[in-house]
Amino acid sequence: MRDFLPADKARRERVLAVIRERYRAHGFDEIETPVVEEYARLHAGIGGDNEKLSFSVLKRGLDAEAIRAAAEDPAALADLGLRYDLTVPLARFYATHRASLPSVFRAIQIAPVWRAERPQKGRYRQFVQCDIDIIGDATARAEAELMTASLDALDALGLEGGTIRVNDRRALDAMLDVFGFAPDERPGVLITIDKLDKIGASGVVAELRERGASAPAVDAFAAYLDRPQTDAAGFDSAGIRAALPDGIPDEIVDHLVALGETVAAARGGDVPLRFDPFLVRGMGYYTGTIFELAHASVDYSLGGGGRYDGMIGRFLGQDVPAVGFSIGFERIVDLLPDAESAGDHAVVLVHDRDVPLVDLVSLKTVLVGEGRRVRLEQRTKNLKALLERATADGYTAFATVGNATTRESLEIKPLG
């Protein structure tokens, strides 16, 4: 968990403002949910490994004896927890407010979440997530809208050229069925397959054998990995079929093809999608299309998401189609260069000690009324250090103020 100095905070807010503006331009509406949710909801078996990283809130009023008696049962000790993502709260929100929402609801959530991570570069215990979700639309249009809005936000931030890796959890399940993996061994198999880009095909096959996975299934999977490769035909039926073994249901491929065609229409013919039959994503609530946002400047994902049609039904009592996309804000903000405001809108007024306070405040009020950001600073012996500090804080111009200075005589000069 981190503190942010003024310049860092201003930089983060500038990035958030761009993301918000682009999301709203695509028809999404922002909501807000509490930072805590019920313990049982956060530990319902749908959050994957994130459930193990959640921060729980101790029940109020427990004495030492009660705590010792309940030590073996976390649910007896805690009734609330800090949210570890924004998807579980959204599902609860929709189930609670469905009657007040449109039949197809497009939501923005930009807020902090908490996970008990081991802190390291790019991983924090408190971080901001930027989510957009569409609830109530089971068609490929929903995924296409999410992808188009997310790529648009990336472009607006100066990170043009983003691509999205796409797969479908149903295709993964069908593929494991074709190879012959038993249902009870598939979760562990998927964990290993997810390491393909890190340990390579031979490493994945070796780990599957070490796990004791079905030997014939591992042999079939190894043969599939070793098959002759052909040049990808693109994100179309031929290209997707070429990347999959025989036996994958047509409706899965058709959904992916429709997704590619819709994104192409929205992007002026450009299809920045790449089909990856080994993309897994670890969240247990994904039921269909899954995706990750990539950029050539880095070797890690900048966001991702997927379809989670079964989650809302747990709270509402009936299934509702839903799909979401989360931009990795913390990773993106670290990639962007420091942005400065253009022109002389952020001004430091450096004044002499004897300038009347009334004159200073009046002059500042006039400049603020013109749309400028204004800071008053009394002149110091080391004027250079004062101006360098102002520059670091995001100010782009300065002016000196004496006893006779008026708005007409004020000379605003650029900093730096």
Extended beta strands in 158-200, E state = 163-168
CA gap 275, 135 in Å, rounded = 24
Q: Are 88 and 113 in contact (CB under 8 A)?
A: no
Q: Give the CATH number of domain 6-172+230-335.
A: 3.30.930.10
Structure tokens at 335: 């990639």
CA angle 235–241–245, rounded 5-degree value: 140
- Cβ neighbours of residue 79 closer than 8 Å, sequence gap 6 or more: 38, 39, 57, 59
Report in angstroms the alpha-carbon separations of 371 from 333, 347, 362.
26, 11, 15
Residue with structure tokens 């002059």? 363
For residue 59, the 8-state DSSP code is: P
CA gap 85, 127 in Å, rounded = 10
Structure tokens at 88: 């579980």
Please give the chain's pLDDT, 416 residues, in tens. Answer: 889 888 888 889 999 999 999 999 999 999 999 999 998 888 877 666 788 888 988 888 777 877 777 767 777 788 899 999 999 899 999 999 999 999 999 999 999 999 988 877 767 899 999 999 999 999 999 999 999 999 999 999 999 999 999 999 999 999 999 999 998 898 889 889 888 888 998 999 999 999 888 899 999 999 988 887 655 557 888 889 888 888 899 999 999 999 999 999 988 888 899 999 989 887 667 889 999 999 988 888 899 999 999 888 888 888 899 999 999 898 898 888 765 544 558 899 999 889 999 999 999 999 999 989 999 999 998 999 999 988 888 888 999 999 888 899 999 999 87
* Strand-pair partners of 164: 273, 293
> Could you tell me the pTM of the whole model?
0.84
Counting other chains too, the contacts that 263-267 makes at CB distance below 8 Å and 24 or more residues apart are 263/144, 263/147, 263/148, 266/144, 266/145, 266/148, 267/148, 267/151
Q: Are 347 and 412 in contact (CB under 8 A)?
A: yes
Exposed, middle or buried by CB within 10 Å (0-12, 13-18, 19+), for 18? middle
> Domain ranges in the chain?
6-172+230-335, 346-414
